Amino acid sequence: MPLIDSDFKNSRLLFHHHLQTIYPGILRRVGKVNYDRERINTPDKDFLDLDWSKTGSKKLVIISHGLEGNSERSYMLGMARIFNENGWDALAWNYRGCSEEMNRNLIMYHSGATYDLDLVVKHASESYEEIALVGFSLGGNLTLKYLGEQSTNIHSSIKGAVIFSVPMDLHQSSLKMNHSYNRIYTRRFINHLSVKLRRKAEMFPGEIKLNSLRKDMSIFEFDHIFTAPIHGFKDAEDYYYQCSAIRFIEDITIPTLIVNAQNDSFLSESCYPENILNTNLYLEYPQSGGHVGFTPPGFGFPYWSEKRAVDFILSLETIL
């Protein structure tokens, strides 16, 4: 498993890891991406909204967002744009309940819902000769788990993957989110998730115990009381065990780059493995970058993460 010395240098103005996380998430703007939306149906009579940015290529990058993200987040737009500029089509897909319209079923999305990613890949592979996967945070865990599960049955069009800021040990990372310095992020996640949960309770009366919902809940508590039972898991520990990508990465059979900043306050120590016996994995742990940050010194396009992803995927064309 190759360990890569990272060349990333964060903007000096973003001298603290919270600034490195918050600035790009709130203040960054990305232009020159025009999506065309497609809605596809799922086997359980739900739907997924897919946003396409096309150049007429036979190569496609499929981009998976983080917790409570969507295709319009700056990191999604930036990744779509740089692949477009390098001659690739881009597909930024929205998880169930993450586009403008709430999904139909009781279940929404979670860190291990690879059945939806598999559906997206199969749908896209009908039109493309080469596919790359890029995942951020929760979407990174989802992508790694998918690749590990599909190790002996991976679609021939998938050539490589790049993952950023991935909490691949869900249990330990959920405990890390309990720390006081992560309270601002936890509160924001819980606020967003609570809005969706209330909408679900209106759609499915009696199915969700809203009296257990609190503004000061931890991520673990939310997953234990809501995420796990809604999606068929025994409890939060069962959900984390079954869905943590750390259990699947040894089985990945395509070149995959994992980039986790060492100052990412969301990630536990177990999210920085170094002794996985898999030569298909490339691990890069820059000293800075925050969570889904990686802002370059000039603050302009592209961000380092976007250039790193496209460089890694393009390099595979000379190897494979």
> How do the domains of the chain map onto residue ranges?
3-167+249-316, 170-243
Q: What pLDDT band is residue 318 in, cutting at 50, 70 and 90? A: low
What is the per-residue pLDDT across 220-242, written as a single tens digit (0 to 9) for each? 999 999 999 999 999 999 999 99
* pLDDT exceeds cutoff 70 at 270: yes
pLDDT of amino acid 1: 65
Spatial separation of the C-alpha atoms in residues 42 and 195, rounded to whole Å = 24
Q: What superfamily does domain 3-167+249-316 belong to in CATH?
A: Alpha/Beta hydrolase fold, catalytic domain (3.40.50.1820)
* Beta strand 3-4 pairing with 158-164: unpaired
Q: Count of CB atoms within 10 A of residue 62's CB?
A: 26
CA atoms within 13 A on the CB side of 147: 33
Give the helix ranges, DSSP H, for the chain. 17-26, 74-85, 114-125, 138-149, 170-176, 183-203, 219-222, 228-230, 236-243, 304-316
Rg (CA), the chain: 18
Smallest CA-to-CA distance from 108 within 80, 147, 68 is with 68
* Beta strand 36-41 pairing with 47-53: antiparallel
pLDDT of amino acid 319: 52
Q: How far is CA 208 from CA 186, 216, 249, in A?
A: 21, 18, 34
Q: What pLDDT band is residue 294 in, cutting at 50, 70 and 90? A: very high
Contact, 90 vs 84, CB < 8 A? yes
Spatial separation of the C-alpha atoms in residues 60 and 161, rounded to whole Å = 12
pLDDT of amino acid 317: 77
Say whether pTM exceeds 0.85: yes
Give the helix ranges, DSSP H, for 62-207. 74-85, 114-125, 138-149, 170-176, 183-203
pLDDT of amino acid 93: 98
